Amino acid sequence: MEILAFGVQADEKPLIERAFAGHHDVRCLDVFLNEDTAPIAAGHEIISSSVNADLGARVLEILAAGGTRMVAQRSTGFNNIDLDVAERLGITVARVSYYSPYSVAEFAWTLAMAVNRRIVRASIRTRDFDFRLDGLMGRDLHGRTAGVIGTGKIGEAFARIAHGFGMKLLGWDVAENPACRELGMSYVPKERLLAESDLISLHVPLLPSTQNLIDAAALKTMRDDAILVNSSRGGLIDTAALVTELRAGRFTGVGLDVYEAEAGLFFLDKSLEAIEDDTLARLMTFPNVLVTSHQAYYTEDAVGQIVATTVENVLDYTAGRRSENVLVPRS
């Protein structure tokens, strides 16, 4: 059987091909799955999708009409998939429920340190042989407060690094993590966390209940000199409201690895095109904002685990087995 994998990055392709070797043939495409590309999957029972794939009702209908019966998504998040429609069409859906939490947690800290110590501005200056320190002053994080919104595996890994910096820990989640408690974390209401934290990092999934979790009111609750980092899902932040606060001169720094309207932009080369997204274009103009292209997960370790789990999901489907990774079971 040939598996068709959409949205495969160049670094990811050899890992996928090696992982599937001896099991199934795999054809890797660099195009992302959407309504225009879905017809390519005709005749393929199993396809693999990336995190920015469009698996809404129309795309799923095209896939089902072409004979697709299983979608193996190469990510933990699945907010891009209409699971109800997939179930109605008889399409099995599986995801990667776990991979290295350190990849994302470490990158979140990379963003936090970069905006705190003005690394991008400093790098641009020194490339021009401008070695002045004006405007590059940061702050010690030791002794300050880190607010961790979402204290699952990734949030816990982030908190452990914060603990190593000697920071006070505040946490907010629907369920407390005993390991974070052992680090000295105090669980508090979200409003208190936002008001008291010097550094806030988001590590919750995107659900209807977390859409725009950091909205205009939440942003106004934060300290004027706070650092905000989002390496989870773009929809957690109301970006238009964030731009409004940044225009008012608020926040020491904002590090974003995700953006709420990133589909059709991130993972693609848009350098020769006019960007029609005015909110993103405005966001890029602030000197205290660093935007990266959804790369927090992108380490050899994490991608290797993602690919290996994807292969296992496919093998489980062909063998009629069900695992914790299955979102819509085989009918």
- The continuous run of DSSP H or E covering 293 comes out as none
Active-site residue flag, 233 = yes
Q: Which of 233, 250, 260, 312 is catalytic?
A: 233
Query: Tokens standing for 203?
Result: 């590590």
For residues 237-265, one letter each, b for 16 or more C-beta atoms within 10 angstroms of the residue's C-beta and e for the rest, the string is bbbebbbebbeeebbbbbbbbbbbebbeb
Which is catalytic among the residues 12, 196, 260, 262?
A: 262
Among candidate residues 74, 196, 294, 312, the one labeled active-site is 294
69 among known catalytic residues: no
Nearest in space to 98 (alpha carbons), one of 233, 266, 297, 258: 297
DSSP 39: G
* DSSP conformational letter for 227: E
Q: Is 182 a catalytic residue?
A: no
Radius of gyration of the chain (CA): 21
Q: Token pair 């408690």 is at which residue?
A: 181
Close Cβ partners of 148 (under 8 Å, ≥ 6 residues apart): 155, 158, 159, 162, 169, 170, 171, 172, 180, 185, 201, 203
Catalytic residue positions, numbered: 233, 262, 294
